[in-house]
């Protein structure tokens, strides 16, 4: 198998959320099953900064290339780096006009940027990587690649042989734009059709990915089922049902080398199951760093994530007045929608010694929060997989989740008598249900310390390695390739 993995975010080059973690880790695990594997991403400004500051190798491998169909006649060049500590090449596609913003998703005309990138990837493959026989695509930004392949390039001797696997990391982001994007992208006008890319008078990129890829998957089994219902389908449930025979769910894993309390360089005290005292030293460091009273007995309840509706921020905001009545400390780290950021900042002034609101992106602080907290909130409205709950468990921090999508597949309700389970949760999307789930955890934390220790150990013993999921991806690749013969 000769695979190119295409993603808009790849950790540690450019990260906004969980997509970067997956794109920066999964390739390491599928590598052993493949002949050739590389990653292709845009050369965002932030990637350039990270490569320079971290001293990664960078060389130009191609210049003056052009996309074949796109109406923008800018040329692009391609740079090569490597996924750190591996021999996996990362190809970065550079164009000054389109990748000029500081952050990954800042460019105002994303439809121009993503279509240009998609067609440029194809042109680069045809010219420099013609042995490629499978493209693993991720999210709406890359969803038109299979559309180009099955329309404009269906008779091309190299490109027509390429199979596609398309992973949906989040159905909530679809890439919906006015119909004139088809002519800008150089795609045929007949795609403006209900059986193709048309979507309520617009063009929907994700719909293109769903209909034109050989195989589709999402990042947990439960979410793969949920998105075929009206409640979670974001108006694409019907389209997903049409592709039901080719739709799979594969749970994400955790990079056990990077997300490891025994070796993590971002935390002051490394620890393991055998040495949990150090976890509580991290708790004191965390409290100190955020200006909260330093006390290792007070339960610290945290949230890290994008501050958007998906993550259940409204439920957290609803209960903060009640939660702060209790002897707890609450820490929030994230960035996102302004209305939520503003609302959270207002709470900060009310409850200074119980609450720490941090509106920023800060990887080092995130690791200290995973390590130094007792409980980790993920009351998501929907959650394709979720990584925070798995990271927190690695550090003995107990997830409190809404049982939906990947959260339902990775968190099991703790039962103190039987000593089974690794977290706590609730089902209905109601703030009172979230509050009750937190109270269940606090009850055990305060009144049954032996049980609390057990749930901490159960969480740390949970297995979220990528090995099994990587094997499942290989099966999907084989299925996709079988469609080409
Ligand atoms: N302010 C901040 N500072 C530092 N770090 C921060 C941060 N905000 C977020 N992060 C980090 O970003 C990652 C978020 O990952 P998630 O999987 O939880 O969410 P996301 O919704 O972005 O991903 C989508 O894609 C992934 C990958 O498939 C799915 O797991 C998920 O369900 C889906 O919504 C974690 O590594 C977290 O620590």
Question: In Å, how far are 97, 221, 309, 311, 338 from 400, measured between CA atoms?
Answer: 44, 20, 17, 13, 25
Q: Which atom of ligand 1 is nearest the CA belonging to 17?
A: 22
The burial class, CB within 10 Å (0-12 / 13-18 / 19+), for 52 is: exposed
**What's 273-461's CATH class?**
alpha beta
Query: What does each of the 485 residues of the chain score in pLDDT, given as a tens digit?
Result: 999 999 999 999 999 999 999 999 999 999 989 989 999 999 999 999 999 999 999 999 999 999 999 999 899 999 999 999 999 999 999 999 999 898 899 999 999 999 999 999 999 999 999 999 999 999 999 999 999 999 999 999 999 999 999 999 999 999 999 999 999 999 999 999 999 999 999 999 999 999 999 999 999 999 999 999 999 999 999 999 999 999 999 999 999 989 999 999 999 999 999 999 999 999 999 999 999 999 999 999 999 999 999 999 999 999 999 999 999 999 999 999 999 999 999 999 899 899 999 999 999 999 999 999 999 999 999 999 999 999 999 999 999 999 999 999 999 999 999 999 999 999 999 999 999 999 999 999 999 999 999 999 999 999 999 999 999 999 999 999 999 87
User: Using a 6 Å cutoff on CB, does residue 333 contact ligand 1?
Assistant: yes
Q: Which residues sit in the known binding site for ADP-alpha-D-glucose?
A: 15
Cα–ligand 1 centroid distance for 164 (angstroms) = 25
Output the residue whose Cα is nearest ligand 1's atom 5: 363
Token match 């998906």: residue? 310
* Cβ atoms of residues 439 and 471 within 8 Å: no
- State the Cα–Cα distance between residues 161 and 308, nearest whole angstrom: 40
436 lines ligand 1 (CB under 6 A): no
Sequence ranges of the domains in the chain: 2-253+467-482, 273-461
Between the CA of 16 and the centroid of ligand 1 the distance, in Å, is 7
Nearest Cα to Cα of residue 28 among 78, 82, 80: 82
Same fold, 2-253+467-482 and 273-461: yes
Residue with CA nearest ligand 1 atom 22: 17
Assign 3-class secondary structure to 249-276: ECCCCECCCCCCCCCCCCCCCCCCHHHC
Place of tokens 């990077």: 258
Indicate if ligand 1 lies below 6 Å from the C-beta of 249. no
* Gap between the Cα atoms of 232 and 211, Å rounded: 18
Residues belonging to the binding site are 15
In 3D, which of 461, 390, 387 has the Cα closest to residue 419?
461
Distance 17 CA to ligand 1 centre (A): 4
Q: How far apart are CA 45 and CA 269, in angstroms?
A: 34
CATH class, domain 2-253+467-482, is: alpha beta
296 phi and psi, to 5 degrees?
-80, -10
Distances from the Cα of 445 to the Cα of 11, 269, 374, 452, angstroms: 35, 22, 9, 5
Distance in angstroms (rounded) separating the CA atoms of residues 171 and 381: 13
């Amino acid at each position: 198998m000769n695979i190119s993995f295409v993603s808009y975010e790849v950790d540690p080059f450019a990260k906004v959320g969980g997509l970067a973690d997956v794109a920066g880790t999964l390739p390491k695990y599928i590598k052993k099953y493949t002949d050739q594997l590389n990653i292709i991403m845009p050369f965002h400004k932030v990637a350039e900064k990270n490569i320079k500051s971290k001293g990664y190798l960078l060389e130009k491998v191609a210049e003056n290339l052009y996309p074949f169909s796109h109406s923008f006649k800018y040329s692009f060049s391609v740079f090569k780096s490597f996924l750190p500590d591996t021999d996996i090449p990362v190809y970065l596609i550079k164009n000054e006009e389109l990748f000029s913003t500081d952050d990954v998703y800042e460019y105002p005309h994303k439809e121009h940027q993503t279509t240009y990138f998609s067609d440029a990837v194809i042109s680069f493959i045809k010219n420099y990587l013609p042995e490629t026989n499978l493209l693993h695509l991720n999210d709406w930004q890359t969803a038109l690649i299979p559309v180009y392949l099955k329309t404009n390039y269906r008779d091309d001797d190299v490109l027509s042989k390429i199979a596609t696997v398309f992973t949906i990391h989040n159905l909530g982001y679809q890439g919906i734009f006015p119909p004139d994007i088809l002519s800008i992208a150089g795609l045929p006008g007949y795609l403006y059709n209900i059986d193709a890319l048309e979507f309520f008078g617009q063009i929907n990129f994700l719909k293109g990915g769903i209909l034109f890829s050989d195989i589709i998957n999402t990042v947990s089994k439960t979410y793969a089922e949920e998105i075929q219902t009206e409640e979670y389908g974001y108006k694409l449930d019907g389209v997903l049902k049409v592709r039901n025979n080719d739709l799979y769910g594969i749970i994400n894993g955790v990079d056990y080398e990077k997300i490891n309390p025994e070796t993590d360089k971002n935390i002051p005290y490394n620890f393991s199951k055998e040495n949990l005292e150090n976890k509580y030293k991290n708790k004191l460091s965390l409290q100190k760093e955020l200006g909260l009273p330093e006390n290792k007995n007070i339960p610290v309840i945290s949230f890290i994530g994008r501050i958007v509706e998906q993550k259940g921020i409204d439920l957290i905001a609803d209960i903060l007045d009640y939660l702060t009545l209790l002897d707890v400390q609450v820490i929030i780290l994230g960035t996102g929608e302004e209305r939520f950021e503003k609302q959270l900042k207002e709470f900060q002034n009310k409850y200074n010694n119980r609450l720490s609101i941090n509106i920023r992106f800060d990887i080092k602080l995130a690791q200290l929060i995973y390590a130094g907290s007792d409980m980790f909130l993920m009351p998501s409205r929907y959650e394709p997989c979720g990584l925070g709950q798995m990271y927190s468990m690695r550090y003995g921090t107990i997830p409190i989740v809404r049982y939906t999508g990947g959260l339902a597949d990775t968190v099991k309700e703790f039962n103190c008598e039987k000593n089974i389970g690794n977290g706590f949760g609730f089902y209905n999307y109601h703030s009172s249900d979230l509050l009750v789930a937190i109270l269940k955890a606090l009850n055990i934390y305060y009144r049954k310390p032996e049980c609390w220790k057990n749930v901490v150990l159960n969480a740390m013993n949970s297995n979220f390695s990528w090995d099994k999921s990587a094997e499942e991806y290989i099966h999907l690749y084989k299925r996709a390739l079988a469609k080409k013969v």
